A and B are shown apart, each in its own frame.
Chain A
Amino acid sequence: MNTLCPFPLLSVTLAITWLALEGLSPADLVLALVLALIIPRVIAPLLKEMPGIRSVNAAARLVLLVAWDIVVANITVARLVLGPISRLRPGFVQVPLAVTHPHAIALFASIVSIVPGSVSIALTPDARTLLLHVLHVEDDAHFVEMIKARYEKPLMEILEC
C-alpha cells in the first residue's frame, strides 16, 4: 500500500478535488483514481520534506485573517489607484525571514503578494531575505514589522519548521 500510494492524504485530496470539479460519473471516478495515484508520484521529490501542521485552529485563524485582509487591501489599493498617482511612494522593501522551510517561505511570499499592497519579487539565494515591491510605503521598517508579526508569526506557529 505504501509503495502504491505514498501520500494517502494528498491522493484523497486530489480525488475529491477532481470529483468536485467534474461530477460523479463513472468516467470521472476512474480518472480521479488515476490522477490520485499518478500526481503524488510525479511531485514526490517536492513532498519529501513536507512540514507537519501543528495547530489546525491557528491555520483556520490565519485563513480568516488573510481573507479579511484581502478585502481591506483591495479597498486600499483601489483608493490608491483611483487617487492622485503622483502622491504614491512606491518602494522596494527587504524583509529578513525568520521562517526557513521552503514551503513556509512560499506560503509567506504568496500571502504577502495577495494581501497588503505589496508583491513578492525576489528571494536571495540563501533564502534569508525576501524582496517586496510595495505600491505605497511611508515607513519601511514599520511595514516590515507589521507583515512579519501579522503573517510570519502565525505561520511559524502553524508549521513545524
Chain B
Amino acid sequence: MLDFLVSILLLVGSFFIVVGAFGLVRLPDFFMRLHGPTKSTTLGVGSFLLAAVVHAVDDGFTLRELLIALFLFITAPVSAFLLGQVGLRRHVDSRAPLPEDFPGLRHEPPDLPSRLRQTPLPGD
C-alpha cells in the first residue's frame, strides 16, 4: 500500500518535471520559458520529496526532505528574478511588449552584438 503511494507520487513528480522541460522547448520566448523551471519543477521535486518521506516513514520522520523543499522554494524565485533582469536589460525578444516606461531600466538596448541580443527562437 505504501509502495503504491510512493509510486504514484514518483509518477506525478516525473510528469510535472517532464512538462517543465517540455515547456522550456516549446514556449516561444525567453520570458515565457522562465515559467517552466519555476513552476513545474517545484511541484515535481516536491512530489519526489514527499515520496521520499513516505518511503522512509518506518525509519522515523526526518526534517531533511522538508528542508530541501524549503531551499528550493527560496532559490527558484531568486534565480528566475535574476534571469528576468538580464532578459529585460538586454531587450531580448519577447512576445509580450517590453515595458519601456518601467522606471529604473535602461531604455536604449545595450550596445551588444546582435547575436547576443536576439537569441534565435525555435520555429523561426
Chain B interface size band reads 35 or more
Instruction: Kindly state whether residue A10 has any CB partner on chain B within 8 Å.
Output: no
**Nearest Cβ on chain A to B22's Cβ, whole angstroms:** 6
Query: Once the chains bind, are B22 and A82 in contact (CB under 8 Å)?
Result: yes
Instruction: Contact check, A74 vs B42: say whether CB atoms are below 8 A apart.
Output: yes
For the complex formed, measure the closest distance between the CB of B92 and the CB atoms of chain A, giving whole angstroms.
Answer: 12
Contact A78 B32 (CB under 8 A): no
Taking A90-B96, A92-B96, A125-B104 as contacts, is the C-beta distance between A119 and B80 under 8 angstroms? yes
Tell me whether A122 and B22 are in contact in the complex, defined as CB-CB below 8 angstroms, given that A21-B67, A91-B96, A114-B42 are known contacts.
no
Whole-angstrom distance between the Cβ of A150 and the nearest chain B Cβ = 16
Question: Besides A78-B16, A81-B23, A129-B103, 8 other CB < 8 A contacts?
Answer: A20-B62, A74-B42, A92-B96, A94-B102, A114-B39, A119-B38, A120-B81, A125-B103
Q: Which residues of A contact B (CB under 8 A)?
A: 16-17, 20-21, 70-71, 73-74, 77-78, 81-82, 85, 88, 90-92, 94, 109-110, 113-114, 117, 119-126, 129, 131, 133-135
